[in-house]
Amino acid sequence: MTVLELKGISKHFGAIQALNDVSLTIEPGAVVGLMGDNGAGKSTLVKIIAGNFPPSHGTIRVQDREVHFHKPVEARESGIEVVYQDLALCNNLTAAANVFLGRELRRGVWPLRILDYATMYKRAAELFKELKSETRPRDLVKQMSGGQRQAVAIARTRLSDSKIVLMDEPTAAISVRQVAEVLNLIRRLRDQGIAVILISHRMPDVFSVCDRIVVLRRGTKVADKEIAKSSPEEVTALITGALERA
């Protein structure tokens, strides 16, 4: 069984061909590193899988069923969770409000369904603890450090029983200790059978947690192989184009 299967995905924005005929298969519990230069199309691929916009061509199958997402909620309902590159946080809201953004917990009976602050604070605190992050649910995200903001974005993915988590540069702009925490979290997800796609420019991160690596160059997939059979040097060459394909 595969969690996610992309076939011939292309995407163009006007004249810009952001993705060109990309196919990809992800098994449960696989941790796949997705690498590529700036503008290679990584975030675009993530946004297509997450239902932010449809591909121009190609099909997406989740657990062997073809899907057509029209909005992010639909992808989420199929078990796809995303940590976006810019984290998608609202600075004017609290950490807990951001974690639950778009799926707030409510209590009471209709028409008086009100926000369940107590439970949301409690759940958010539990998630931050699980992530070993010193993040206070009631604090405004505006005042938070890079690592805390990252924790808020990652905590979101733990709200539901996800099958696959897409992480777009989750380790950019955080401290060494927090990078280690994020990588540990990825391992914990894998141990629970959740697949992870990790986008990163940091070679050591990719080589320490991923079991497979996929390289995009100018919208085309140029490599897809087991990490054990590759090396940072080879990947660098693939990214820059010094090596055409692997």
Partner 1 sequence: MAVSLDDTINRQTHSTLSWLLSRQTFWVFLAAVLACIALTFMTDTFATKNNLFNVTRNFAFVGIVAIGMTVVIISGGIDLSVGSTLCLSAIVTGLVMSAGYPLGLGIAAALVAAILVGVVNGVLIAYVGMPPFVVTLGMLSVARSMALVLSNNKMVYQFGPDQALLLQLGGGTTFGIANPLIVLAIMALIAGFVFRWTGWGRHIFAIGGNEQAAILTGVPVRRIKVGVYVISALTAGIAGVLMTGWLGSVTTNLGTGMELTVIAATVIGGANLAGGTGTAFGAVVGAALIEVIRNSLILLGISTFWQGAFVGSFIVIAVAFDRIRSFRQSD
With contacts defined by CB under 5 A, how many residues of the chain interact with Mg ion?
Answer: 3
To 10 degrees, what angle do helices 146-157 and 176-191 make? 10
Cα–Cα distance, 186 to 209 (Å, whole number)? 7
59 part of the interface to Mg ion, by CB under 5 A: no
125 contact choice in ligand ATP, Mg ion, partner 1, none (CB below 5 to 8 Å, kind-dependent): partner 1
Which is closer to partner 1, CB of 66 or CB of 86? 86
Q: Which of 66, 86, 226, 244 binds partner 1 (CB under 8 A)?
A: 86
Q: What angle do CA 165, 100, 183 make, to 5 degrees?
A: 35
43 part of the interface to Mg ion, by CB under 5 A: yes
102 contact choice in Mg ion, ligand ATP, partner 1, none (CB below 5 to 8 Å, kind-dependent): partner 1
With contacts defined by CB under 8 A, how many residues of the chain interact with partner 1?
Answer: 36
The residues near 235 (Cβ < 8 Å, ≥ 6 apart) are 35, 203, 206, 213, 215, 223
Query: The sheet that has 164-168: what strands, in order across it?
Result: 80-83, 164-168, 195-199, 31-36, 212-217, 220-226
By CB atoms closer than 10 A (0-12, 13-18, 19+), residue 21 is middle
Residues 151-170 interacting with partner 1 (rule: CB under 8 A): 156
103 part of the interface to partner 1, by CB under 8 A: yes
Which of these segments, 8-16, 54-62, 96-104, 173-181, binds partner 1 (CB under 8 A)? 96-104
Fill in the amino acid letter for 8: G
38 contact choice in Mg ion, partner 1, ligand ATP, none (CB below 5 to 8 Å, kind-dependent): ligand ATP
Find out whether 174 and 150 touch, Cβ atoms under 8 Å.
yes
129 part of the interface to partner 1, by CB under 8 A: yes
73 part of the interface to partner 1, by CB under 8 A: yes
Which is closer to ligand ATP, CB of 127 or CB of 215? 215
Q: Footprint of ligand ATP on this chain (CB under 6 A)? A: 13, 16, 18, 36, 38-44, 85
Find out whether 178 and 147 touch, Cβ atoms under 8 Å.
yes
Residue 62, classed as helix, strand or coil, is strand
Cis peptide before 111 (omega within 30 of 0): yes
Give me 23's structure tokens. Answer: 């196919």
Which is closer to Mg ion, CB of 127 or CB of 214? 214
184 part of the interface to partner 1, by CB under 8 A: no
Contact set with partner 1 (CB under 8 A): 50, 52, 71-73, 76, 82, 84, 86-93, 97, 101-104, 106, 113-115, 125, 128-129, 132, 134-139, 156
